[in-house]
Amino acid sequence: MIAAFASHAVVADEPDYKQWVGGFIEVYKPDEDKFFDFTSYDAGMGLGLEYGFRHDENWGGRFEFSKISLENDANLVDDQAERFGFDAMYFLEEDLLYIFGGLKHLNMAQSGGMVNLGLGKHFNVGENLKLITEVTAYHDFGQAYNDVSAKLGLAYAFGASSAPKAPGDADQDGVNDSLDRCPNTAIGARVDSNGCSVDLDGDGVLNGVDQCPNTPKGTRVDATGCNWDKDMDGVANDIDMCPDTPKGTVVGAKGCSLEIDSDQDGVLDVKDQCADTPLTDRVDAVGCSVFEEVEVRETLNVLFANNSDVIRNPNDPKFQEFADFMNRFPNTQTAIEGHASAPGKADYNMTLSLKRARAVRQLLIDKYGIDASRLTAEGFGETQLLDESNTAEAHKVNRRIEARVTATKKEKVKRN
């Protein structure tokens, strides 16, 4: 940063002050891990002096000296430290803030060099008085410790330039800023002697907001400088829903023809409350689409090996599809029904079918996130066989889980 300051060669505007001297108090907090001879330090107070100068409107520098009293954990007597060094400073536009960075040397139990970076501001509190406010972070070259400080001080500023600044024209309208009553005129706009836009077409709307700058003289215009009634149907543009109605057309209060059905739904525009209804939709008396409730359902079938309630394919997409359906219709519930094949005792088959139903229910809860309160499990054993033939294929079909969920949704009714 110091090199950048030294190499800055652009001649900028003169600052309000060129030099200052000041005194300050600060709170200095060493790094928590920083210690010497088994002694660590808490935050302490410091007093200091500084001398600063402004090279131009943006760049400056200052020398600083501070004496700091640090509380240690080894005895009741505070340790004394001294810090001195130089900072390069960059002042933001209109002295909003300044950024500074530099090199410092800290003398205490052990001495060392540091680099620092900080942010500050000079507040005006009098004709030549500045309130100094800063926060700074320090990095120790020797042990890589990081200290911080906050500063509050008072400075006396002097050396202000006596030469007046050159007159300017910020909005580039040809009128000096000191005379410009409209300092933010758009670049390229035609202005009067006061720097304000003129009304070229004489419609009472300034050129800067006039969207129709060549309106014929005497034309009634709206706030944008355009013809108040573009299609001349007697309805103002700001409420005209049909702004291009052919001349002579009989229109309603909204500027639309009383005999036009724009969306061809059988309802004239003057009564149509739903413009642009799709041609495929059936509509009601005011031209809006008609809806009806239709029933939709999803079925889950799961097959099991003989004498088993283990689900061999828990990642099968059909489980996710079933869960997605239930999530899409959150007010639905479903019963998981377990079924067994005919071979074996009826009581055993009843128990096995219930285990299968519970296994599927638990899978939907644990893996697919369905609320347990929406699922029930029930076993039917061999009481509801799909295929009563005594074949291996029939037994495979009968070992199953069935789950059905039904919901209703609204769908548009199509035209006949």
> What tens digit of pLDDT does each residue of 284-340 get?
888 787 666 655 556 677 777 777 888 888 888 988 988 888 888 787 788 888 888
The confidence band for 238, taking pLDDT boundaries of 50, 70 and 90, is low
Q: In the prediction, which pLDDT does 163 show?
A: 47
> What does residue 247 show for φ and ψ, rounded to 5 degrees?
-60, 135
Q: In the prediction, which pLDDT does 166 show?
A: 46
46 in helix, strand or coil?
strand
150 in helix, strand or coil?
strand
- Segments of the chain assigned to CATH 3.30.1330.60: 295-412
- Residue 153 confidence (pLDDT) above 80: yes
45-51 average pLDDT score: 96
Q: Which CATH number fits domain 295-412: 3.30.1330.60, 1.20.1260.10, 3.40.1050.10, 3.40.190.10?
A: 3.30.1330.60
Beta carbons of 102 and 88 less than 8 angstroms apart: yes
What per-residue string of b and e applies to 73-97 under the rule 16 or more CB within 10 Å gives b? eeeeeebebebebebbbbbeeebee
Q: Cβ of 105: how many Cβ atoms within 10 Å?
A: 12
d(CA 88, CA 110): 26
Smallest CA-to-CA distance from 86 within 68, 107, 105 is with: 105
Domain 2-158 indexed as CATH 2.40.160.20:
yes
- Segments of the chain assigned to CATH 2.40.160.20: 2-158
DSSP state of 374: G
pTM: 0.39
- Residue pointed to by tokens 């131009």: 56
Q: In the prediction, which pLDDT does 11 show?
A: 40
Smallest CA-to-CA distance from 136 within 145, 149, 147 is with: 149
The confidence band for 12, taking pLDDT boundaries of 50, 70 and 90, is very low
- Compute the residue count for the chain: 416
Q: Cβ of 240: how many Cβ atoms within 10 Å?
A: 20
Beta carbons of 99 and 107 less than 8 angstroms apart: no
Beta carbons of 247 and 232 less than 8 angstroms apart: yes
Q: Concatenated DSSP letters for 116-135?
A: EEEEEEEEE-SSSEEEEEEE
Question: Residue 183 corresponds to which tokens in the numbers above?
Answer: 């300092």
Q: In the prediction, which pLDDT does 102 show?
A: 96
